[in-house]
Structure 1
Amino acid sequence: MAALSGGGAPWRRGWLPVLQLVRRGSKAVTRHWKAMHFQRQKLMAVTEYLAPRPALPPRCLTPRRETREEEDGYGRLLRRQLEEVFREHRLIAVCQYNSMPDEDVVLMRQYLRKHNIEVKFVLNEIVRPVLSQSKYKNLLPLFVARNILLVSRETKVKEMLRVLKGVPQVNLLGACIDDTILSKQGVENFAKLPTLEVSQGQTVGALTLLPSQTSSLLQSGSAHLTALLDQHIHQLQAGETGSPEQPPPAQS
């Protein structure tokens, strides 16, 4: 005991008390971690924010480029066909197409086909690039809504207007006839014109009338002079013979 309490022990001589700072008025920490209630866990799980997923997985986006290339090729085909339509047909009428039953569409096509008029359903995305680079670019304002084309290799405007009169769902907006762009009123005025054969007959009659009148005018002077000379000769012969004067024969 004396040895433990003696001042000569080495561990006693090297020991110093630990310095501790005590804050007055501090409280002991009594709040410890506690598991979340089961109902609260479900509420937090339901209300957790989930980032939206992409519409298509990244692995599915690669074939989409090939599909776009195919669509571009199909669009080029449609544009080429449209260019052929404008190049090969004399009558190209632009009409606004409203929804109508399929039976009425079939009947309209049959009536128009009797007059060699075809119906072409076109898309504005295809028509606009073609017309903007051609001489028919003045037709661009007509392609606003859903449109159809009535095309024919002949200018059968009267027959087309007669058929469209019975189809109120199709409204005529304008036309291109023999590389001439006409409005709706212009198309109606064109339909009132006579046929080409009648116009040619009237032109030939007018051209033959003028030369005949000119020829008659040129011959009238010489015929009148000839009649005067015949009358003068008759008068001279009557004076030499002393016979009474007789009227000259009538000139035919």
Structure 2
Amino acid sequence: MNLILDAFAWIFSGDPGRGLAPIPIALGEHLWFTVISVLIAALIAVPAGWAIGHTGKGRDIAVAISGAARAVPSFGLLILLVLLLGVLRSAEAAIITFVLLAIPSILAGAYAGFEAIDRKVIDAARAMGMTPWQVLWRVEVPLGLPLLVAGLRAATLQVVATVTIAAYVNLGGLGQYIIAGIPLRRFDIVLGGAILVAALALVLDGLFALWQRVATPAGIRAATRHHSGPARSSRRAATA
């Protein structure tokens, strides 16, 4: 309990310690790496996932690539890329590492969102005379958006947690407190850094949860409530 209190005391002290960046600066660095990495991953994975979901082709290849990317250890990949690109390009090595980490979740969310759409909806849109592009942008993208946001949400949380290793190659971020605190045996700093990373992840998760709810079409939300209402009533009756 004392360690937890010491960690919070360190967080609000305004003095992170000698050689360590102030918490607002470290937080900004952490967010910068997260946002840039997720954006680049989305630019790569979203069009590919939509193409797979729209055409129904290449899903097996995408699953295989995603599985292989998930199996690569991020820390080992970061060190390898730093050695290959050079210390002066550590930032690029870190971004490549985080992008590869984020792509599988975003790719899965993009094509799964299209695959989850009832084919009758697609057939009805085509029967109304919609062109393939109209079907894509007016039907598939809006209906598939909630699962895409879920993929972005998972990718962002993975990247936020993994950006802590960027401090190992002197790139800053909230991970610097964890890495610097261990050899100094300043476990209040270590725990404080971990709390800050967890708090950032929770805030981002809440924002994505809100976005996911907003992205869900009103008709689908109403249908979900309609179907879940009788189910809840049945469970209450069974337990009465």
Pick the TM interval, shorter chain: under 0.3
Higher strand share: 1
Larger Rg belongs to: 1
Higher helix share: 2
Output the TM-score relative to the length of structure 2: 0.21
